[in-house]
Amino acid sequence: MAEDKPATYSDLVKVDATTDDEIARQIAGDADTAPELTDDWFDKADLHYGATLLRRGRGRPRLGAPKRLVSLRLDQDVIERFRAQGPGWQSRINGALRKHLWGE
């Protein structure tokens, strides 16, 4: 394995003197070069998962029954008890209310 050496002035002069045509030839001669990913390439790309064509929109998929933001006053000790159990404390409060109301 070659030891990494800091670039010298002569190395930088060589890089600076490299023309765009030389760079293009070097890229074309590289077998590992991937195709250029242009907007046109992405527009024509078909993304498949098994036999299903995937077309993703932006962001998170919409939920059938999204949760609503509400302001709710709870006793401090109740909040501390749920928070002490770690992340997801609001979901656990929702679950406790659900269990109390519907026995789920």
pTM exceeding the 0.95 threshold for the entire prediction: no
Q: What pLDDT, on the 0 to 100 scale, is given for residue 90?
A: 94
Residue 55 within a domain: no
Residue 72 within a domain: no
52 or 26, higher pLDDT: 26
CA–chain centroid gap for 58, Å, is 12
Contacts with 55 (C-beta within 8 Å, 6 or more apart), sequence order: 47
Give the residue numbers spanning the domain of 35. Answer: 9-50
Residue 80 within a domain: no
Say which range, 10-19, 61-70, 93-102, has the weakest mean pLDDT. Answer: 10-19
Name the residue with tokens 């006053």.
73
Q: What pLDDT, on the 0 to 100 scale, is given for residue 1?
A: 46
Residue 100 within a domain: no
Q: CA-based angle 13:5:26, to the nearest 5?
A: 50
Residue 21 within a domain: yes
Q: Is 53 helix (H, G, I), strand (E, B) or coil?
A: strand
Name the residue with tokens 């006793």.
75
Q: What is the total count of domains within the chain?
A: 1
Residue 37 within a domain: yes
47-49 vs 52-54, strand pairing mode: antiparallel
Contacts with 89 (C-beta within 8 Å, 6 or more apart), sequence order: 79, 82, 83
